[in-house]
Amino acid sequence: MESGTISSWAKAEGDSFGPGEVLCSIETDKATVDFEAQDDGVVAKILVQSGDDEIACGTPILITVEDEGDAPAFKDYVLEESETPAEPPTEEPAAAAPEPAPAPEPAPAPSGSPSRPSGGRVVASPLAHMIAKDLGYDISTIPGTGPDGRVIAADVREFTPSAETASASAESAAPGQAAMATASPIPGDGYTDYRISDSAKETATRLAQSKKNVPHYYLTVDIAMDELLKLRSTLSAAIGEDSNLGVYELMIKAAAKSMKAVPSANASWMDSVVRVYDSVDVNVVVGTGDNLYTPVIRDCGGKGVKDISDELNAAVSAVEEGELSSEFASMGTITIMNLGMYGVKSCAPIIREPQSVALAIGAMENRIVPNDDMDSDEIYKESVMMTATLSCDHRVVDGAVGAQWLSAFKSHLENPSTLLL
């Protein structure tokens, strides 16, 4: 992320706030993200209003103070640095001898393009912005069918530019966008290059940074799933098969219960301190490729399996329909990915900073295992088994703590009645 737009302010000047409270919502190319406070304070001055043009990362957007009595001192404060970037465009034409008058004339030309609002800000979903950028479309030329004329992803996918609009956007679009729209695969001598979208680049950068910063180690365990499958069948019969209650939701609940059993794993490395969280918020991996997202399910430890199932199904539907919320970019305290649908037995996932653990679920399969029934004459039995791998940040979760967490997770799945307590 290099720039964004403040879509709304949750706090006004003079309002007090505490850790975890949302100060404002920031809209990026990929999603709308909530900017949360880290400490107690008071909003003394808002420097950037909602709906303004995009602002670069690192630009101050507000001033906060610890004591409410200090806020009035910043009432008339003006950030001089914010004015500096705005002055060169007006000074350069003035410095270009007495010919500054023709310089402003090219500006109205772009605004004269068809169906572009003059000076108005285009209201569109983050996914719509991303798709339009990948296809090289000028999003202001796309009519919106969402609430209040909002441009949604389906509008961009179904948009057919006219010849005039297509040529205008091709001329005004960045070279990378135009090339991306006209030729995604680039054949070479014995190879083919495929362009990478901005969202994919951002994801790759974050994962590479996390892999470099976090000292990973991995723990793997095999889990018998027979009892869990019986419980899933019982619950589905009780609430109806139409509820779409799956095994994955029970695993999410088991992970949340394990966090409660081993709270030191529900934490983050903060350089000078280790921050342990009270709530277990689970990021689940949804989608594939450029449409890969990790929506968060809040407070899984305090929710029932049915509520977790409803939120998971809603997240999957949102990805399919292209209607993404700020929860798709929010960070929880653990990330869970389910690769069983692809037949993958095990996987060592990359931890997403600032989380300290990540869990990968493998495929369930029938295996011949030793029979633990002492009354049976059979030495071996057939059982449905699954492999789970936990990636841990050794700065926060040492080997003993990681083993305790994975042991608790195994216990909850092999004795699933504990998930109902």
- Where in the sequence numbering do the catalytic residues fall? 394, 398
CB proximity list for 83: less than 8 A, separation 6 or greater: none
How far is the C-alpha of 104 from the C-alpha of 284, rounded, in Å? 50
Give me the residue label for tokens 């500096």.
84
| Contact assessment for residue 226 and residue 384, using Cβ atoms and an 8 Å cutoff | yes
From the CA atom positions of the chain, what is the Rg in Å?
26
Alpha helix stretches (DSSP H) within 243-353: 247-261, 305-321
What's the maximum distance between 2 C-alpha atoms anywhere in the chain? Answer: 102
Please state, in angstroms and as integers, the Cα–Cα distance from residue 151 to each residue in 53, 113, 133, 183, following that order: 18, 18, 13, 25
Please state, in angstroms and as integers, the Cα–Cα distance from residue 95 to each residue in 9, 35, 45, 419, following that order: 39, 41, 35, 72
H or E stretch covering 108: helix 108-111
DSSP secondary structure code for residue 125 in this structure:
-
Which tokens belong to 45? 């001055």
Picking from 67, 73, 62, 66, the residue whose alpha carbon sits closest to that of residue 10 is: 62
> Amino acid identity, residue 60?
P
Handedness of CA 311, 315, 321, 325 (dihedral sign): positive
Alpha helix stretches (DSSP H) within 281-398: 305-321
Which tokens belong to 368? 């011949």
How far is the C-alpha of 74 from the C-alpha of 44, rounded, in Å? 6
